[in-house]
Amino acid sequence: MTVALIDYGAGNLRSAEKGLERVAHEIGRDQKILLTRDPDVVAKADRVVLPGDGAFPFCRRGVAAIDGMEEAIRDFVEVKGRPFLGICVGMQLLATRGLEHESTDGFGWIDGVVKAIDPGPERLKVPHMGWNTMNLVNPHPVLDGLALGPDGLHAYFLHSYAFEVTHHADLVATADYGGRVTAIVARNNVVGTQFHPEKSQRLGLALLANFLKWAP
């Protein structure tokens, strides 16, 4: 069993790699975490994780720049139907398009648009950075056993753009930052977190463990 963690030049790769290795060991899953730029490794993996830091168009072009990578990712998700996790901008890339700096097409697996966070009348600081709780919208296996709500566990966020999801059914959880901000999205075999699970301590490690056990 293998988990391909895609290295395309954008993402907190070492933290994500260590987090996945830790939870795989803790739950007794014989899953190798493979940090890779090889589309063949992605094609043969049992699970794929796509991280991402920085701007939406930069990350999108970073994936496209690796010969054969987008084709391998699309085949993994659309044809093989295996579990796929997007983190931060990797989650945003699941959208129809992103509007950061320019209009850029995403993978289009979850309908919606990634737009700049509105600081609102409170003139909140952007980026949304730091610890925040989440509110459950639609249950999902990656949240099994996790306490959400105002008194629940905290997740670590760092983002200036947010995913405005078209369909309510694709929205799993939100955070409150001057209004509702998308925190987790999911459809079929694809799930994405706006926050960084690898930096979110107890909540994040439990979510990663649930992802490694998830059988969509």
Q: Is 101 a catalytic residue?
A: no
Q: Is 198 a catalytic residue?
A: yes
Structure tokens at 78: 């659309």
68, 83 in Cβ contact below 8 A?
no
Q: Is 140 a catalytic residue?
A: no
Site of tokens 């056990």: 213
Q: Encode burial over 15-28: b for 16+ CB neighbours within 10 A, e otherwise.
A: ebbebbeebbeeee
Catalytic residue chosen out of the listed positions 128, 140, 159, 196:
196
Distance, in Å, from the CA atom of 168 to the CA atom of 114, rounded to the nearest integer, reads 15
207, 100 in Cβ contact below 8 A?
no
Catalytic residue chosen out of the listed positions 88, 100, 140, 159:
88
Catalytic residue chosen out of the listed positions 59, 100, 140, 198:
198
Q: Which residues are catalytic?
A: 88, 196, 198
